[in-house]
Amino acid sequence: MFDFSGFSERAAHGRITLAYVLLVTILVVMLGGALPSVLFVFGRNALWGVWALLILCVSVLGLQLSLSRLMRPVLPLAAWLLVFAIWGTLCATYPILASSLRLLIRFICIMAAIAIVTSHHRRLAFFANATQWGLVGNLLVTWLLITYPEYQQHPFFLRMNATIGSDRFAGLWGDANQAGLVALFMLALSYWAKPWIAWAGRISGALIIYLTASRTAFWIAIALALLHLVFAATMKSKLRAVLVAAVLIIGGVGYLNSSRESSFSFFKDNPTFSRVFDVSESKTKERGEASRVDLAKQWLAVIAKEPWYGYGLYSSEGDTSIETQVKRGFPTQGTHNMYMAIWVDTGWVGLSLFLITLGIQLYRMRQVPLAPPVHRMLFALCFIMLVFALTSHQMLTDYTGWMGFSLIFLLPMSPALRNAPSW
């Protein structure tokens, strides 16, 4: 007879079981933007199969690993999510109960899955390695779409390349801003991956951020690189970075001087840099579209008129939301700001509770005795999630957002960091 107690004991000591491999595969498929590909190949009903398999893997591993104990650090975030979903449902003047239940089930499952991922340093390393392969795979898909543009019109790739402007590419994610967020998130996870896989992922992630031309992702990456260079890098690393920067600057100046006669400007004519350095979003306004500043003004006017309890779940997606299906004179685009989205959906009460919950966790994180490099990586993860939330409201309903926020609560006190020999 099969010895379940022995199997459970091995699983508790970081054994990578079939159930865990399936769980990580599903998480990377979601995180890497490949879920629509699964639906395209196997049909829409395949989505039910993916979630059923995820719940099965979480249930099997949860029984082996005492999931209730592993999830204790994330309970404050789960409690806020429950309040947010119930409050947003009660405040809504339209039928939203089904969408609210889907939101709760999806992200409770994500929290449980991330609790399992952080249950042992071997499992965390396995997950980190898998995410780096997700970056490499997305870079290959992006290269294919650039090299063979005719495939961009193929039904398999049509949704994937639905980016804003033809000069932006997003691989399997289909949205350049989303691709930038996921690339940053996976780059943070590369710290726990094997060195050679980590560097393959880092190079792929940097190239993906460049190809997406995402302002937020680009400037977050630059800010984190500079902070690391100033506060964490050794003198030898700093000298090496200065040398590389000097070579790049000299090469860039030479390139610009050589192209002066052709009136070519590298920053002006390069689609990525022209967009990234266009902080005022002048080209967006030239196309007659609303910039993020314009959207903020429009939504602040909506907030000024709202009741103290908010407008209801998914109201922050605007009048084109497929969830609310109501027209109330709201902007057609979403808030492009997660904090403002919470404010619109559940009023100042929901936003205050979220900020208090997050603030308490950030304070506790500082008190956890971890090695300085680990603390720096946790800071980088928090920086990515909290800053990117200023420019994206989809983090409320996206897999990346909930995986990232779950890690912020779970990692500091996780067995993966407490019992790891060294990182």
In DSSP notation, 357-374 reads HHHHHHHHHHHS---HHH
Is residue 319 within 8 Å of 327, Cβ to Cβ? yes
Rounded percentage of the chain residues whose pLDDT exceeds 90: 43
Is residue 314 within 8 Å of 323, Cβ to Cβ? yes
Confidence class of residue 157 from pLDDT cuts 50, 70 and 90?
Answer: low
Separation between Cα atoms, residue 357 and residue 351, nearest integer Å: 10
Is residue 201 within 8 Å of 138, Cβ to Cβ? no
Is residue 85 within 8 Å of 104, Cβ to Cβ? yes
* Largest Cα span, the chain: 81
Nearest Cα neighbor of 155 from 32, 41, 35 is 41
Separation between Cα atoms, residue 133 and residue 157, nearest integer Å: 20
Rg (the chain; Cα; Å): 22
pLDDT at 2 over 50: no
pLDDT for 115-136, tens place per residue?
A: 999 999 999 999 999 999 999 9
Which of 179-188, 236-245, 253-262, 277-286 shows the lowest mean pLDDT across its residues?
Answer: 253-262
Which of 72-76, 130-134, 176-180, 261-265 shows the lowest mean pLDDT across its residues?
Answer: 261-265
pLDDT at 252: 58
pLDDT at 29 over 70: yes
Looking at the whole model, is its pTM more than 0.85?
Answer: yes
Confidence class of residue 296 from pLDDT cuts 50, 70 and 90?
Answer: confident
Burial of residue 217 (number of CB atoms within 10 Å: 0-12, 13-18, 19+)? buried
Nearest Cα neighbor of 115 from 54, 71, 69 is 71
Region class of 214: left (phi > 0), else alpha (psi between -120 and 50), else beta: beta
Separation between Cα atoms, residue 191 and residue 339, nearest integer Å: 28
pLDDT at 237 over 80: no
- b/e per residue, 21-49, with b = 16+ CB within 10 A? ebbbebbbbbbbbbbebbebeeeeeeeee
Average pLDDT over residues 27-46: 83
The pair of structure tokens assigned to 29 is 């498929």
In degrees, to the nearest 5, what angle opens at C-alpha 374 toward C-alphas 372 and 376? Answer: 70
Q: Which helix (H) or strand (E) holds 1?
A: none
- Which span out of 53-62, 156-165, 368-377 was modeled with the highest average pLDDT? 53-62
**Which of 329 and 157 is assigned the larger pLDDT?**
329
pLDDT at 330: 87
Q: What is the mean pLDDT of the chain?
A: 83
Rounded percentage of the chain residues whose pLDDT exceeds 70: 81
pLDDT for 370-400, tens place per residue?
A: 888 888 899 999 999 999 999 888 888 888 9
pLDDT for 299-330, tens place per residue?
A: 999 899 988 889 999 998 888 888 888 888 88
